[in-house]
Amino acid sequence: MTILLKIILRRFFIVLLIAGIGVFFYFGYSYIFSRVITGEITGAKHLLESNAIITSPNVRAQSPQIFSFAIAIRDHKTGEIVTGSSEDRQWAAVKEGQCARAEFFPYPPWELSKAGTYFGARLLGLYDNCEIALKK
């Protein structure tokens, strides 16, 4: 009886471990496969003018769409222009031609309509000169 119990417990813990790894991979995919890009900003566009959203005067919560930005950075290593979206207010301070270090988070491949694209671009550093950014 104890041998059977050991086998059952061992299999239970193996299944539990595999399930835990699967849950970690499912929820952490974007962080695991994030990509840090350093290069020249080729585009940073505010997607929606703040006065274009009409809300009731009683509603105090602001829509995250007010702070939506489309970002494009030319990777200094490959020359690829990496694009992504973000709702981070820091992107309001950037201008085309500046150099930035940013982290791009990919949509997971099981989100078929968005697979291969990036969201939540996080500004890690902003520089006037790319030579300074590349040293860091």
Domain containing residue 114: CATH number: 2.40.50
How much is the pLDDT for 49?
Answer: 61
In a domain, 56, yes or no: no
pLDDT tens digit sequence for 22-35: 999 999 999 999 99
Domains held by the chain: number: 2
3-state percent breakdown (helix, strand, coil) of the chain, nearest 5 = 35, 30, 30
Whether 136 and 79 share a structural domain: yes
> DSSP 3-state assignment of 35?
strand
- 89 and 39 housed in the same domain: yes
Cα-based distances in Å from 41 to 61, 80, 84, 112: 31, 12, 12, 28
Within-domain flag for 3? yes
Res 132: pLDDT: 78
The pLDDT-based confidence of 37 (bands split at 50, 70, 90) is very high
What's the domain range around 7?
1-32
Residue 53 pLDDT? 54
- 122 in a domain, yes or no? yes
Q: With contact defined as beta carbons under 8 Å apart, do 91 and 44 qualify? A: yes
